[in-house]
Copies of this chain bind each other. A is one copy, B any other.
């Protein structure tokens, strides 16, 4: 059966079997688990998802609303009725509600931005008027500014490099940036670093409007009045309540002064529709924007600065607001102190039928059936904890405060955290700790795609193949953007984030158009993928809850981490070659000769050469680690006692924490994980081996070399840990 395993992938701890194996299960327990999962799947009901979505998304329910609290209370009641020990855990978090939102073009011709999305035929939810949360970016600072406008494309670092080439400075200006290209919070952060005094973000029809497809209500995409809300809190520094970094925002927690909170933006920032953006952009002169910057509006995109001049005034009602997390526990029959955690947020910017309700109702249905199975005598061996997080939208606040508050207990007890969020029709996507990749792959083989009737793994791989990708299933690395972040990146708990999508495109994200009618028309009309999600997540939860040996696997983990190192080394070589090429062109004066003398042009100067770094400490550590992992992989544990396996499991649970460093990443100590982090200048986008990678990207060679040594120590710790595991298998 080692044979069976090896032909599929290198798994850790295989037990010999007759027909089918599941990683982590003894042969004599395998069929029971498969039967349990089959029963679980058979009891899932799509009509529950439909009914519950209609209820939960009936009214806007952002953090602090009555309807949000009612949803939380209703969920607690549901969980209780299903046999869970459920309760609300409330934190007091700072949440800004917009009091004043004004944006005017004051020159060359006046225009007052409407800042309001229109109700549409066939969707009465969009006509709830004052009940709808005004469009704004949470954790923008207050401000009242007037200045010339500059178009900065997506407002990411390379856009400012382009502006520099053109000799354009945003100092003292207000920038207007397109949504996309980065997490939105990067845009005001960078703009402020560059000296801008205000920031406008708009949805361009090319990325998010009629260029993509017919607009709502004819089609799913953003009409000219739709505005994407969203947080601009500096989450790459730390997420969660801005006043209580690192600790739970309990009623009596020690809080920062708001004026000192480092994750509130430095400049005012406001999101607008493309209807409101067009007059502003059309009023710009100056150089025509580079081809890749141009959007889908029927204008010539100029950069400015000016003559367009805008006035932006924002004022927020900064108040402590209660965030209600729902926590529901189903005590394990054999290992009550080993928790398998599962969560989805319940707060929404407006109605949030897709984000987050589509994921939340799948979680509820999963929990309902798991509870029913327990009642019928099939109680999981380990404790299962279902969570409904509040205040995810403004900055992962509910989950972060809860994790910070319970960190020690969680680090001792949690086997893994499985996250979901908004869900749609299409392909299975899974990210997370690569020690769980082998297990997720097995589950993905067991779940049937509702449209094509092949496994969700097979369909996923088919899509990869058609678009030129790999013929194997892989987890993507987690950056940020949903509630797994405090678990994996702060507490060092093995985590997953799963969902379906790719056939549910639309422009409703964080707008008043994310409603039940929109979801039913364009997302997952029969909730077939809601059921597939409950099925996949439920199987993962049940396997983790019942496994004889927890299904962590390190051969695939090692291969993935080694690939990350190779990427960084290749990237460094590429940077070196690019600088050499650049400097050669500078020395030949090629840039100047190739430039149009009638257009803006700043003559490039030679760049500092990229030094050679010594990566050997990591390489040597990884080589040693590989040998250890290979020793571990060959062990077979069929004849071990329950106690022996439990001792091993307790060690296995701790593995992810070995990959953290209590000091955290440079300049952001909240982020403890040394393999995965959101990028300091990408926001949601992941940076793997972040300390080393970002030092190199920022060309801080001294720090890069120091972080290489520190990362090697992390892998040495991992090696020691693997050797402890080996001891437990002897």
Contacts and interface: CB of A to CB of B under 8 A. Distances in A.
A300 B452 contact: no
Given A465-B588, A466-B591, A594-B463, A298 B300 contact: no
A589 B215 CA distance: 33
Contacts of A91: none
Contact of A298 (B288, B296, B458): B296
A2 interface: no
A318 to B, nearest CB: 39
15 contacts: A210-B298, A210-B299, A211-B294, A211-B300, A214-B288, A215-B300, A296-B298, A452-B593, A452-B597, A462-B592, A462-B593, A462-B594, A465-B590, A466-B594, A503-B596
A605 interface: no
Contacts of A221: 300
A549 B548 CA distance: 90
Interface in A403-452: 426, 451-452
A593 B503 contact: no
Most chain-B Cβ atoms within 10 A of its Cβ — which of A212, A213, A467, A596?
A596
A466 B598 contact: no
Contacts of A458: 593
Contacts of A591: 462, 466
A267 to B, nearest CB: 30
A462 to B, nearest CB: 4
Among the interface residues A467, A585, A597, which one has the most CB atoms of the partner chain B within 10 A?
A597
Contacts of A452: 592-593, 597
A219 interface: yes
Interface string A578-589: 000000010011
Given A214-B288, A215-B300, A594 B294 contact: no
Contacts of A593: 452, 454, 458-459, 462-463
A373 interface: no
Nearest to A502: B596
Contacts of A454: 593
A685 B234 CA distance: 52
Assembly stoichiometry (copies): 2
Contacts of A467: 594
Contact of A466 (B215, B298, B466, B585): B585
A596 B452 CA distance: 10
Contacts of A372: none
A538 interface: no
Nearest to A206: B294
A461 B454 CA distance: 55
Question: Could you tell me the dominant secondary structure of chain A's interface residues?
Answer: loop
A461 B594 CA distance: 8
A546 B219 CA distance: 71
Interface string A558-601: 00000000000000000000000000010011111110111000
A183 B294 CA distance: 26
A380 interface: no
Contact of A590 (B294, B426, B451, B466): B466
Given A213-B288, A597-B452, A588 B462 contact: yes
A589 B462 contact: yes
B585 A465 contact: yes
B298 A597 contact: no
Given A596-B503, A597-B451, A300 B462 contact: no
A594 B458 CA distance: 10
A205 interface: yes
Contacts of A145: none
A580 to B, nearest CB: 13
Contacts of A17: none
A212 to B, nearest CB: 8
Interface residues of A, number: 40
Contacts of A465: 585, 588, 590, 594
A237 interface: no
Interface string A261-288: 0000000000000000000000000001
A297 interface: yes
Contacts of A588: 462, 465
Contacts of A589: 462
B205 A298 contact: yes
Nearest to A454: B593
A598 B504 CA distance: 11
Contacts of A219: 300
Interface string A464-481: 011100000000000000
Contacts of A426: 596
A590 B462 contact: yes
A574 to B, nearest CB: 14
Nearest to A592: B452
Contacts of A596: 426, 503
Interface string A288-319: 10000010111110000000000000000000
Interface string A584-627: 01001111111011100000000000000000000000000000
Contacts of A594: 459, 462-463, 465-467
A215 B596 CA distance: 20
Residue among A466, A589, A598 with the highest chain B CB neighbour number at 10 A? A466
A205 B301 CA distance: 12
A418 to B, nearest CB: 26
A462 B503 CA distance: 46
A646 to B, nearest CB: 41
A468 to B, nearest CB: 9
A300 B466 contact: no
A452 B592 CA distance: 9
Query: Which residue of A296, A297, A593 has the most chain B CB atoms within 10 A of its CB atom?
Result: A593
A538 B598 CA distance: 27
Contacts of A466: 585, 590-591, 594
Contacts of A585: 465-466
Closest 4 CB pairs of A and B: A462-B593, A462-B590, A466-B594, A463-B594
Interface in A210-240: 210-215, 219, 221
A44 to B, nearest CB: 21
A221 B288 CA distance: 12
A598 B503 contact: yes
Contacts of A296: 296, 298
A299 B297 CA distance: 10
Contacts of A214: 288, 300
A213 B298 contact: no
A294 B214 CA distance: 13
Name which of A213, A467, A594 has the most chain B CB atoms within 10 A of its CB. A594
